[in-house]
Amino acid sequence: MIKDYKTKKRDDDKTFYWIRLMTNFFDRDVIDFLMGEKDGANYVVLYLMLLLQTANSEGKLQLEMGEIIMPINIDKIVRDTKYFTKDTVIVALELFKKLGLIYVNDGGILTLAELPYLIGTSKGQTIRKQIANVEKTLESGNNSGNGGGKIYQQSIEYRDKSIEYRDIDKDIKEKKYIKKRKFGNFGNVMLTDEEYEKLKTINEQERYKDLDYEESIERLDLYIEQTGKKYRSHYATILTWHRNNQDNKPKEKKDKLLDKILG
């Protein structure tokens, strides 16, 4: 609803923060990996909420009281985000750190790594004028009965499409679309050379020390051959399967995990 974005005249000089997401946000390997987790949808929503809540603090999960800066603890994150249990927040933050979405800065503060690339600001006066123009356009279309509102909506769609096509062209020019090769006896597993090389050395990481990349590729290859199932990212699927297998083993105590996250 437009009214949710309205600002008052007294806020004209106030700075409002916002974040922008690419249309392929949910297609990214890291988000696809999170969504593949048992509680993945909650992890992704929590991540988006943390982006919004730290937009005016450069992505830092911190409290400022005068000259004192303190890291935000787990309990406060649970209170501020409202919809998640403490265990969900603990596990999510650990995952975010492993995936490089969050890191601990030199001051010991958890910081969202992507926020500097997503942040934007607008003055209250600018927002108020933009909304007034939108309302005027919609009102004009409704009064004339000539579909002005529809035309306005179409212009937005055409603009968004043009931006999308521009970004696709840019990606192609920068060679971000890397060709994938077939792996496995049936050739069902598709990986880029970079993903394959990562799998070969990933067991150097503690979380994946038991992962046999050749066996994992063959398992996925056979499963796809038997079921015909499709996955957005075979690399992320292999990691997800391994993590799910690990999750069936006894977990660390939550207080140890908490110490690891905040340490």
**Taking the CA of residue 124 as centre, how many other CA atoms within 13 Å lie in the half-sphere pointing to its CB?**
10
Backbone dihedral angles phi then psi of residue 193, each to the nearest 5 degrees: -60, -35
Residue type, 75: D
pLDDT of 45 reads 93
What's the rounded Cα separation, in Å, for the pair 109 and 50? 14
Hey, what are 90's tokens?
Answer: 């603990």
Q: What is the mean pLDDT of the segment spanning 146-158? A: 48
Amino acid letter for position 124: G
The answer, yes or no, to whether residue 114 has pLDDT greater than 60, is yes
State the residue for tokens 């050379």: 193
Q: Which domains does the chain have, with CATH numbers?
A: 13-118 (1.10.10.10), 124-173 (no CATH), 181-246 (no CATH)
Any bridge partners for residue 191, and if so which?
A: 181
Cβ atoms 162, 170 nearer than 8 A: no
Residue 172 confidence class, pLDDT cut points 50, 70, 90: very low
Q: 153: buried, middle or exposed (CB in 10 Å: 19+, 13-18, 0-12)?
A: middle
How does the average pLDDT of the chain come out, rounded? Answer: 76
User: What pTM was computed for the model?
Assistant: 0.47
22 pLDDT tier (thresholds 50, 70, 90)? confident
- pLDDT value of residue 170: 52
- Contact of 180 with 192, CB cutoff 8 Å: yes
Kindly report which listed range (72-76, 80-84, 159-163) carries the lowest average pLDDT score.
159-163
As a whole number, mean pLDDT of residues 117-140 equals: 69
